[in-house]
Amino acid sequence: MNAPYDGDRGQGAGGDPAGQVPPSPPPAPDPYVQDAYKQDPYWAQDLSAQDPVTEALYDRASHPPPPPGTYQETQELYQQPPAQQYAPDPRIWAQTPPPEPSGPSRHLPYGDDARTTQFTGVDDLVSRAGDESPPADAFAHLYRDQQGSGQVLTAPEPEAAPAPPPAKKSGGKAAGLLKSSAVMAAGTLVSRLTGFVRSLVITAALGAALLGDSFTVAYTLPTMIYILTVGGGLNSVFVPQLVRAMKNDDDGGVAYANRLLTLVMVALGAIVAAAVFAAPLLVRLMSDTIASDPASNNVAVTFARYCLPTIFFMGVHVVMGQILNARGKFGAMMWTPVLNNIVMIATFGLFIWVYGTAADSSMTVRTIPPDGVRLLGLGTLLGLVVQALAMIPYLTETGFRFRPRFDWKGHGLGKTVKLAKWTVLFVLANQAGVLVVTQLATAAGEASGKTGTGILAYSNAQLIWGMPQAIITVSVMAALLPRISRAAHDGDPGAVRDDISQGLRNSAVAIVPIAFGFLALGVPLSILMFSSSGMESARSMGFILMAFALGLIPYSVQYVVLRGFYAYEDTRTPFYNTVIVAAVNAAASALCYVLLPSRWAVVGMAASYGLAYAVGVGVAWRRLKNRLGGDLDGGRVLRTYARLCLAAVPGALAAGGVAYAVLGALGSSAVSSVVALVAGGVVLLAVFFVAAKKMRIEEMNAMVGMVRGRLGR
């Protein structure tokens, strides 16, 4: 590179005063000068030879590139001046141009006069379209420096090296998002598994008769009150406002978070005080059968007064968790419920250690000691207290300090409350259906005179039945939800339809055989899990699980279809759909209670639950189909589900026959149920796989190929 031009030193300057040094051979053109006017450093290359980032983003399906080597070079708009025969001697200084006046009279590189010329050429029209600047040229800084000095060939002044950028964590945003999702998914899975173990221990300790129903009513009551009062609003309305305040407020939303947490604590404190005082009325509202019996009413009210303060800690836990989520800390919200489950498991385990299982002690609402009620009540309360207090160290780590603030007026909290209207109505409709089923199930269980026919048996069977949905369908849709939301935002109903169809068909490959598996193996599965509460109650819960079984298919479909409405930010349609489901469920359950014997009434209510979701799917499908222009890929989805069901029917029949034979030969016990489950499960999967392969179900073949690829076969 030539030395900077700082003056005229004459021909004799340097080491050769006489100027007799022979001229050096012409060097290659300077790459910094010959491409100075080119806007795109890659414009003369083949499209197939672009940089890796552009190559990854290039859509070859829509715009196939020409074969390599056939791309015609575009004629340059600005030709470089012909190179001189002999390059200037670097030891000889060049002439300094005369100084130019500043302002509009300064000379421009193209030789135009700025006083009379306005540049609106093709380059400006193309590169500035949409007010977006083109990507910076690798050599553009040379041209800018040349403009600033008024010389075309002047080398740029050396610039200070920029400060190194702050070190980023490995992986960037994508890796951080995947890591957060993995932490949340693992926490949710562990929480569900420990919650399932908690239900097993509760059933083993209290049984599935009136005593277990009384505790179930008292334990369910705080959750229902919390959701009906502030839970729905916190999750759907206050949390987005909290995140917005943290982004926009000068203090990072700390004041808003303190106001919200203070408001929630005050509101929940008042709700807890009123609920504890009105516990007898609330128990009667949940179950008139339990409230009408003095012994069971006394136990239920006592349990309720221990459990109702958990409303306060539920709300505090949710607000603290959402404050952490807004600050990028996702693990605590998902993992702290595990502590609650562990405390409750330890509490009921201690109860079993002292008093024995329900099958051994035959404990009832009349024989349970007050110390036992106190132990279970305090343990239940302690679990929620530990869950809420465990959030404090995580908040402290983020720098958040709670300071009570009562200046609620004029800070947007009132407006936020109004936005929760549809969410509150949604929750109210859902809980109304739960309330009807609770009343009818407890009444049927007491009237039957048999264990395992009440609300506790219904809840346990529903817990088992819903786990595949929570693990499989939710996981499938977690990968598709961002795509569905983007397609809805871009106004592409075809992409929304394709993604929903894909989600339905992919989840069906696992959901359909599992649903038929519950139908065939519900009894041995329940005997294995709930035999500690008595063989009769375990068998009754198995029948309830069998009644729930096929309803898993419309339940899963409903979940996927509603994601389409949420992608369009439509919460009103899911509310109306929930009203329809709750109304059908309540009406069908009432008919089962009236028409069926008490022994089978709860079994009929379990079947009514699936029927209600089948009706809901029909309504939601039609509305979403109209929303997407009359096409929801229904024919393809229906064919997939029909073929999977046809493949699962012979497998379920064979598995049910094998399980029944094993239980008949070995008797009803935990050991025989394991043998029946293993044998029946193997038969079900084998027959289903062979039938699905014969039917050439596309989604099944794709899943098998994926599994083989993961296994390296």
Q: Residue 230 — φ and ψ, nearest 5°? A: -125, -15
Confidence of residue 644 (pLDDT cuts 50, 70, 90): very high
Give the CA count within 13 Å in the CB-facing half-sphere of 636.
15
Alpha helices, DSSP H, located in 249-293 = 254-277, 279-286, 288-292
Segment 382-392, tens digit of pLDDT: 999 999 999 88
Confidence of residue 150 (pLDDT cuts 50, 70, 90): very low
Q: Which of 30-39, 90-99, 257-266 has the highest average model confidence (pLDDT)?
A: 257-266
Return d(Cα 632, Cα 653) in angstroms, integer: 33
* Residue 15 DSSP one-character state: S
pLDDT score recorded for residue 107: 45
pLDDT score recorded for residue 503: 86
Confidence of residue 489 (pLDDT cuts 50, 70, 90): confident
Confidence of residue 377 (pLDDT cuts 50, 70, 90): very high
Write down the mean pLDDT value for the chain. 75
Segment 529-545, tens digit of pLDDT: 888 888 888 899 999 99
pLDDT score recorded for residue 478: 66
Segment 15-74, tens digit of pLDDT: 444 445 555 555 555 554 454 444 444 444 444 444 444 444 445 555 555 555 554 555
Burial class (CB in 10 A: 0-12, 13-18, 19+), 309: buried
Segment 302-340, tens digit of pLDDT: 999 999 999 999 988 888 887 777 676 766 777 888 999
Confidence of residue 84 (pLDDT cuts 50, 70, 90): low
In single-letter form, the type of residue at position 150 comes to G
Among 387, 379, 406, 299, CA closest to 340:
387
SS (H, E, C) 178-240: HHHHHHHHHHHHHHHHHHHHHHHHHHHHHCCCHHHHHHHHHHHHHHHHHHHHHHHHHHHHHHH
Q: In this structure, are residues 522 and 462 in contact, taking their beta carbons and an 8 Å threshold? A: no
Return d(Cα 312, Cα 530) in angstroms, integer: 32
Return d(Cα 202, Cα 303) in angstroms, integer: 13
What are 463's two structure tokens? 């817990």
pLDDT score recorded for residue 3: 46
**Residue 295 reports pLDDT greater than 80:** yes
- pTM check: above 0.85: no
pLDDT score recorded for residue 258: 82
Give the whole-number percent of the chain exceeding pLDDT 90. Answer: 30
**Residue 630 reports pLDDT greater than 60:** yes
pLDDT score recorded for residue 50: 45
More confident residue, 190 or 458: 458
**Residue 151 reports pLDDT greater than 70:** no
**Residue 588 reports pLDDT greater than 60:** yes
368: alpha, beta or left? (left if phi > 0; alpha if psi -120 to 50): beta
Tell me the CA distances in angstroms from 310 to 84, 198, 285, 314, one per residue in order.
88, 17, 19, 6
Return d(Cα 365, Cα 278) in angstroms, integer: 21
